[in-house]
C-alpha cells in the first residue's frame, strides 16, 4: 500500500496549493452531478454526501468512521447532520487542516484499525482511499485480492450485523495497459506515458481491476447493495479543479513558487507539473482506461 511517505508526497507537498484553489474543507474526490453538469462543484459534492448518508442509514447521533478523510469534507457534512465522525488519514498536511477545523482525526492506517482503537461504528465511509490500499509490489506478488479481503474484514469487524460501508474508488477498465508497458519516455499522447505520470503522482498505489474484484473480495464479509459508475462525474470534477488550480491568487502563486527548489532537483516533481498540464486521470477516464465506482456494502 501507499505508506505515510508516499501519501505525503501525493497529498501533503501540494496541500496548500490545492486548499487555496478549491477550498479549506473541499472534497478531493469526484463529485456526484446526477447527469446535470451545470451544477456548481460544491453542490455536486453535497449530493455525494447526501447519497452516502442516505445509503448508510446515518442519522443524528450515528457514529461514523471516515477512512481517508482528506481535509474533512464528509466529516463536515456529518457534523451538519448531527452525527459523530472520526477521520483517519496518512497525510500530515490533511491531518493538520482537519485539526484546525476541530475534527477528530488521526494519522493512522485505516486498513488495520480495530474496535480496540475507537470502538465500533454505525457506518463506515471511504471516499477515494481504496485506490491506495494495494501497492505495485502487492500486485506483482499476487496479493491484491488478499489486501482487499483483509480490508473488508477490518471494516466488518467495526460494524454491527447489517451495518453498512460506502466505498468510492477509481478502478482499471478494459483499456488498462500491462504494468510493464508503463513508460515515462513513451510518446506524450500514449497511454503508456499517461499511466507513467499517474504512477509518478501516486507512488505505492495500484488500482483494483474493475468493480468485480472489489465485490468478490468483499464477499466473505459484506454483500453489495447499491452501486453506480461516477466516471463522467469525475471528468467534470477534474475540469473544474483545473480551472481553479490555475486561477490567480497571490498566496497560491507564492505556494507554487515555494516548490521551485524541488522542481530543480527532483524529476518526480517536474513530472507532477506535467500532471497539472495534461490531467492524465481525466484522460484515463475519457479513454476508458479507468472507470470510477460508488459501492454500498452491507455486513452479512
Backbone angles phi, psi at 138, to 5 degrees: -60, -45
CB distance 44 to 233 below 8 Å:
yes
Count of residues near ligand SAM by CB under 6 A = 24
In 3D space, the residue among 114, 136, 132, 122 whose CA is nearest the CA of residue 81 turns out to be: 122
Contact flag: residue 70 with ligand SAM (CB under 6 A): yes
Contact call for residue 90 and ligand SAM (CB under 6 A): yes
Q: Which of 1, 14, 176, 196 contacts ligand SAM by CB under 6 A?
A: 1
Nearest residue (CB) to ligand SAM, 58 versus 88: 88
Could you say which residues in the range 16-55 bind ligand SAM, by CB under 6 A?
Answer: 27-29
Grid cell in block for residue 10: 501525493
- The strand order across the sheet containing 84-89 reads 104-107, 84-89, 63-67, 123-127, 164-172, 290-299, 222-229
Query: Binding residue for ligand SAM (CB under 6 A) from 14, 52, 110, 194?
Result: 110
73 sits near ligand SAM (criterion: CB under 6 A) = yes
Contact residue for ligand SAM among 89, 144, 156, 169 (CB under 6 A):
89
The reply on whether position 69 binds ligand SAM by CB under 6 A is yes
Helices 144-158 and 210-218 pack at an angle, to 10 degrees, of: 50
Give the residue with the Cβ less far from ligand SAM, 110 or 255. 110
Distance CA 295, CA 300 (A): 15
Sign of the dihedral defined by the CA atoms of residues 203, 209, 211, 212, in that order: negative
Distance of alpha carbon 57 from alpha carbon 8, whole angstroms: 33
188 touches 265 (CB < 8 A): no
Candidate ranges 125-133, 155-163, 224-232, 240-248; the one touching ligand SAM (CB under 6 A): 125-133
Of 52-60, 105-113, 250-258, 286-294, which segment contacts ligand SAM by CB under 6 A?
105-113
The nearest distance, CB 30 to ligand SAM, in angstroms, is 9
Alpha helices by DSSP H, listed for 37-170, are 41-55, 73-81, 92-100, 115-118, 136-140, 144-158
Site pattern 151..170 for ligand SAM (x: CB under 6 A): --------------------
Q: Quick one: which of 249, 278, 273 has its CA closest to 262?
A: 273
Q: Which is nearer to ligand SAM, 73 or 163 (CB)?
A: 73
Q: Which is nearer to ligand SAM, 15 or 122 (CB)?
A: 15
Choice from 62, 91, 156, 217 touching ligand SAM (CB under 6 A): 91
Q: Which of 41, 44, 58, 88 binds ligand SAM (CB under 6 A)?
A: 88
Shortest CB 133 distance to ligand SAM, Å: 6
Asked if 94 interacts with ligand SAM (CB under 6 A), we say yes
Distance between CA 39 and CA 33 in Å, rounded? 7
Tell me the closest approach of the beta carbon of residue 158 to ligand SAM, in angstroms. Answer: 14
Residue 191 as a binder of ligand SAM (CB under 6 A): the answer is no
Q: Which CB, 159 or 167, lies closer to ligand SAM?
A: 167
Q: What is the C-alpha separation between 115 and 99, in angstroms, rounded?
A: 23
- Categorise residue 119: left if φ over 0, alpha if ψ from -120 to 50, beta otherwise: left
Cα–Cα distance, 166 to 183 (Å, whole number): 34
**Which residues are near ligand SAM by CB under 6 A?**
1-2, 7, 11, 27-29, 67-70, 73, 88-91, 94, 109-111, 127-129, 132
Amino acid at each position: 500500500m501507499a505508506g505515510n511517505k508516499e501519501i505525503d508526497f501525493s497529498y501533503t507537498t501540494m496541500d496548500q496549493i490545492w486548499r487555496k484553489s478549491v477550498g479549506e474543507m473541499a472534497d478531493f474526490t469526484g463529485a456526484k452531478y446526477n447527469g446535470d453538469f451545470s451544477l456548481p462543484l460544491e453542490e455536486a459534492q453535497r449530493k455525494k454526501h447526501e447519497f452516502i448518508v442516505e445509503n448508510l442509514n446515518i442519522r443524528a447521533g450515528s457514529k461514523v468512521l471516515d477512512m481517508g478523510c482528506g481535509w474533512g469534507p464528509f466529516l463536515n457534512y456529518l457534523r451538519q447532520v448531527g452525527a459523530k465522525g472520526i477521520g483517519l488519514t496518512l497525510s500530515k498536511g490533511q491531518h493538520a487542516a482537519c485539526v484546525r477545523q476541530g475534527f477528530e482525526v488521526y494519522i493512522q492506517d485505516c486498513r488495520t484499525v480495530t474496535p480496540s482503537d475507537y470502538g465500533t461504528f454505525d457506518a463506515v465511509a471511504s471516499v477515494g482511499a481504496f485506490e491506495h490500499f494495494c501497492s505495485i509490489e502487492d500486485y506483482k506478488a499476487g496479493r491484491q485480492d488478499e489486501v482487499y479481503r483483509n480490508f473488508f474484514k477490518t471494516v466488518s469487524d467495526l460494524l454491527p450485523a447489517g451495518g453498512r460501508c460506502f466505498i468510492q474508488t477509481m478502478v482499471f477498465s478494459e483499456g488498462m495497459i500491462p504494468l510493464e508497458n508503463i513508460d515515462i519516455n513513451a510518446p506524450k499522447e500514449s497511454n503508456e506515458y499517461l499511466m507513467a505520470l499517474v504512477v509518478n503522482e501516486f507512488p505505492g498505489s495500484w488500482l483494483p481491476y474493475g468493480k468485480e474484484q472489489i465485490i468478490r473480495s468483499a464477499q466473505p464479509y459484506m454483500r453489495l447493495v447499491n452501486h453506480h459508475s461516477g466516471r463522467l462525474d469525475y471528468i467534470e470534477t477534474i475540469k473544474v479543479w483545473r480551472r481553479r488550480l490555475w486561477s490567480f491568487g497571490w498566496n497560491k502563486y507564492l505556494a507554487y513558487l515555494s516548490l521551485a527548489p524541488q522542481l530543480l532537483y527532483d524529476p518526480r516533481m517536474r513530472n507532477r507539473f506535467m500532471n497539472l498540464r495534461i490531467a492524465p486521470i481525466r484522460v484515463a477516464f475519457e479513454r476508458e482506461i479507468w472507470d470510477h465506482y460508488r459501492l454500498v456494502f452491507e455486513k452479512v
